Amino acid sequence: MILHYIFDPLCGWCYAAAPLVEVARSIPGLEVRFHAGGMMTGSNRRPITPEWRAHVMPHDLRIAKLTGQVFGDAYLDGLLNDLGAVMDSEPPTTAILAAEALGGRGLDMLARLQRAHYIEGRRIADPAVLTDMAVDIGMNPQAFTAFFGNVSGEATRYHISASRNLLEQVGGKGFPTFVLEYGRQRETLSIGSWLGQPDTWREYLLERVETAQD
């Protein structure tokens, strides 16, 4: 059984779902495949502005209340007031692809980038920050930089395009979208009831995997 995870590294609701991804990765017999959809790429890149802060703050507060996910002061009072920062999904997506190519560590990189952004208030579109994050998860910086170069540009944009095509195929409404695939069937899951409920989510996945194996 495969759980497809369609996400963006700068998506607040994907951060809300991070504990669910962590649980899914621990389920025997379930493979988690990630698909980064490029929410803030090209013309959709955004600079930090007071208007942007006002837009995201209510969502962040709702996520924190619903799930217990932490939003650090360095993010709330630092990054969201950093008018020189640009929200660009492409560099962190490239970093995730590089980590996957280098050692199957794409989802580990995503988790580290989410902490860097939402807790530490780091600029995760900055190549230097991305290299720091690679080192934090145990990667050689020179090797990571080489792989980052290999999958940047066209390769990253191809991945984003394929992810968006999958999102459309499964009828997903945005990020995050979870899709269970078993045999020739795909089922798009509505995860709202599981946000903040990782134990219930674990029980559900274990039951689905067990049923599929019968």
**pLDDT bucket at 40, cuts 50 / 70 / 90:** very high
Interval 40-57 mean pLDDT:
95
Q: pLDDT value at position 84?
A: 84
User: H helices then E strands: how many in the chain?
Assistant: 10, 6
Q: What angle do CA 206, 170, 66 make, to 5 degrees?
A: 55
- Amino acid, single-letter form, for residue 207: E
Q: pLDDT value at position 172?
A: 94
Side-chain half-sphere exposure of 42, counting CA atoms within 13 A: 10
Average pLDDT, the chain: 96
pLDDT in tens, 89-130: 999 999 999 999 999 999 999 999 999 999 999 999 999 999
**pLDDT bucket at 213, cuts 50 / 70 / 90:** confident
pLDDT in tens, 119-165: 999 999 999 999 999 999 999 999 999 999 999 999 999 999 999 99
- Amino acid, single-letter form, for residue 7: F
Q: pLDDT value at position 183?
A: 87
| Number of domains composing the chain | 1
Q: pLDDT value at position 38?
A: 97
Question: Cα separations (Å) of 160 from 29, 65, 176?
Answer: 27, 31, 14
* List of residues 6+ apart from 135 with CB closer than 8 A: 141, 144
Range of the domain at 124: 2-213
Q: pLDDT value at position 212?
A: 85
Q: pLDDT value at position 113?
A: 98
CA-CA-CA-CA torsion sign (57, 62, 65, 71): negative
pLDDT in tens, 55-80: 999 999 999 999 999 999 999 999 99
**Which CATH number characterizes residue 186's domain?**
3.40.30.10
- Global pTM? 0.96
Peptide bond into 92 cis (omega under 30): no
